[in-house]
Amino acid sequence: MMHATNTAAVKESPVTEQPPPYGQPYGQPPGPPPGGPYDPHWGYGPPGVPNGPQYAPPRNDDNTWAIFAYVGTLVISFLAPLIIYLVKKNESPFVRFHAAQALNVQITLLIHLVAVCAVCIPPTILTESPLFLIPIIFPYLEALFGQWVFLILGAVKAGKGEIYRFPTFFCFRMVR
């Protein structure tokens, strides 16, 4: 069964609308002005800002607490960022972000070490050969050098009042 269409009834309308400039969705008004205040209507906020609109520029003491989270990690391990996170998490999103990131670095390095040890120690015990312990060198070097590099980098960025996320391999985001 064929349907006949009335071609006379279908009028082709001339294209009067030009496509919007690159980056703007069709049928939407233009976005917020560059450098203007953040409007949550336009998404999650600029890249590098934690949690979008809740971010506020850090106060002077916020920079200091964020630096202490990283430097304290280098001095007394995970206790410094844990204490700072628990004390300041409801006061400043900036300090919370940096303390959580410093804590996540420590947890991630622990996971790397435990995973490699779980794989290497049973064959070493079964075969009584220490050659299976050689892969443990890699997470040890990662903890020795990678930790220092990324924590110092985080402390410098926190001192400048900036947000910087570590690569996921070194910092799984478990504590937010």
Predicted structure pTM score = 0.63
**What's the rounded mean pLDDT across residues 11-27?**
54
Tokens read off for 24? 């703007």
Q: Residue 174's pLDDT band (boundaries 50, 70, 90)?
A: confident
Q: What's the mean pLDDT in 72-98?
A: 89
- How far apart CA 128 and CA 137 sit, in angstroms, is 18
pLDDT, tens digit (0-9, with 9 covering 90-100), for 33-72: 555 555 555 555 445 555 544 455 667 688 899 999 999 9
Q: Is residue 37 part of a domain?
A: no
The domain of 79 spans 55-159
Tally of domains within the chain: 1
69-99 burial: b if 16+ Cβ within 10 Å, else e: bbbbbeeeebebbbbbbeebbeebbbbbbbb
Tell me the two tokens of residue 44: 């999650």
Is there a domain that residue 62 lies in?
Answer: yes
Per the document, the length of the chain is: 176
For residue 73, being part of any structural domain is answered with: yes
Could you report the per-residue pLDDT of 98-133, keeping only the tens digit for each? Answer: 999 999 988 998 898 899 999 999 999 999 888 888
107 belongs to a structural domain? yes
Residue by residue, DSSP assigns the chain as ------TTT-PPPP--PPPPPTT--TT----PPTTS---GGG-S-STT-TTGGG-----HHHHHHHHHHHHHHHHHTTHHHHHHHHHHTTT-HHHHHHHHHHHHHHHHHHHHHHHHHHHHHHHHHHHT-GGGGGGGHHHHHIIIIIHHHHHHHHHHHHHTT---PPPTTT------
Q: Is residue 137 part of a domain?
A: yes
**Is there a domain that residue 66 lies in?**
yes
- The residue ranking higher by pLDDT, 97 or 59, is 97
| Least confident range of 24-33, 69-78, 81-90 | 24-33
In a domain, 147, yes or no: yes
118 within domain boundaries: yes
| pLDDT above 90 (res 165) | no
pLDDT for residue 39: 53
